[in-house]
Amino acid sequence: MTGPVDFNKNMRFWKGNKYFGFFPIRWHIIKDVPNTQFRYITLPENDNQPVTYSRDTQEVGLKQGIEMLNIFKRYFAKTSLLDDYDFNANRDLKKGVSRSQ
């Protein structure tokens, strides 16, 4: 996240108008990493459950966050979520979902 949340800006790609606002981000790593790679990392703030059971906005401690970043860094991925971008964009167009800002 590279800046504050702007709650006055609406991003129309959110399904069902459930979410509001916008915040700028800069991606450092885009890689498919299976959840199985992270299951041993537990979060004390979430009853020591694996990080894979956490929800959006769940706080992740520094130690666990660094371990997750190390996994992202050293995992050799054969696929990328970007491989499916065209497929998903075309599917959304057929459903009438706009990806424009």
pLDDT of 13 > 70? The answer is no
Query: Is 88 contained in some domain?
Result: yes
> Is-contact 81 30, C-beta < 8 A?
yes
pLDDT of 101 > 50? The answer is no
Phi, psi of 42 (to 5 degrees): -110, 155
Average pLDDT on 61-86 reads: 87
Query: Is 100 contained in some domain?
Result: no
Average pLDDT on 55-80 reads: 89
Query: Is 37 contained in some domain?
Result: yes
Model pTM?
0.58
Taking the C-alpha atoms of residue 41 and residue 51, their distance in angstroms, rounded to an integer, is 6
Taking the C-alpha atoms of residue 7 and residue 9, their distance in angstroms, rounded to an integer, is 6
pLDDT of 88 > 60? The answer is yes
Query: Is 17 contained in some domain?
Result: no
pLDDT of 55 > 70? The answer is yes
CATH number at residue 61: 3.10.590.10
Query: Is 35 contained in some domain?
Result: yes
Average pLDDT on 6-17 reads: 72
Average pLDDT on 13-31 reads: 74
Query: Is 60 contained in some domain?
Result: yes
Which has more pLDDT, 58 or 101? Answer: 58
Q: Which domain holds residue 71?
A: 29-94
Query: What total of structural domains would you count in the chain?
Result: 1
Query: Is 12 contained in some domain?
Result: no
Query: Is 72 contained in some domain?
Result: yes
